[in-house]
Amino acid sequence: MKSFAIGALSEKTGVKIPTIRYYESNGLLPAAARTDTNRRSYDDATVRRLKFIRNARALGFEVDAIRTLLDLADQPDLPCAEVEAITRRHLADIDDRLARLSALREAVQATVDQCERGRISHCRVIEVLADHEPGVSEDL
């Protein structure tokens, strides 16, 4: 079967070369086979695995979750309950971030809408930053 170097893997998957090495270093990808001159050598199985990782990252899954999902994907006979649980947890996390970001957006919008284009001494944005008490959300 054909094997290819890291540059080709990068082009096939759209994942940058340093990122591929990073994934290997933290165990998302297994240690690559090496040529006699120490270059990494890959085959199509790695392409599939790396695309899986890229897709999961594009959906915002964290690396820890992806590690688990990869393990699960390799055990096709297990029930997919854990996959669903991970995904729903991720969804809840996204919803949380969305809610906080929306609240933030409203607060910033409300502030900037009051701007009357005068001097800084009367700028509402600066006043809000200087005076407002607790802030709209505890943190980002």
49 to 66, 72, 97: CA distances (angstroms): 11, 13, 28
Span 50-69, contacts to its own copies by CB under 8 A: 51-52, 54-60, 69
Select 35 or 108, whichever has its Cβ closest to its own copies: 108
Span 6-65, contacts to DNA by CB under 7 A: 6-8, 10, 16-19, 21-22, 32, 35-40, 57, 62-64
* x-marked contacts with DNA along 69-108 as a string, rule CB under 7 A: ----------------------------------------
**Binding segment for its own copies among 3-11, 20-28, 33-41, 102-110 (CB under 8 A)?**
102-110
Task: In angstroms, give the least distance from the CB of 47 to DNA.
Answer: 14
Q: Which residues, in sequence order, are CB contacts of 80 under 8 Å at separation 6+?
A: 72
- Using rule CB under 8 A, residue 1 touches its own copies: no
Count Cβ atoms below 10 Å from residue 113 Cβ, excluding itself.
8
Q: Which of 12, 80, 119 is nearest to 4 (CA)?
A: 12
Q: Which residues, in sequence order, are CB contacts of 125 under 8 Å at separation 6+?
A: 111, 112, 114, 115
Determine contact, residues 125/112, Cβ cutoff 8 Å: yes
**Amino acid code (one letter) for 46:** T
Task: In angstroms, give the least distance from the CB of 60 to DNA.
Answer: 9
* Interaction site with DNA (CB under 7 A): 5-8, 10, 16-19, 21-22, 32, 35-40, 57, 62-64, 139
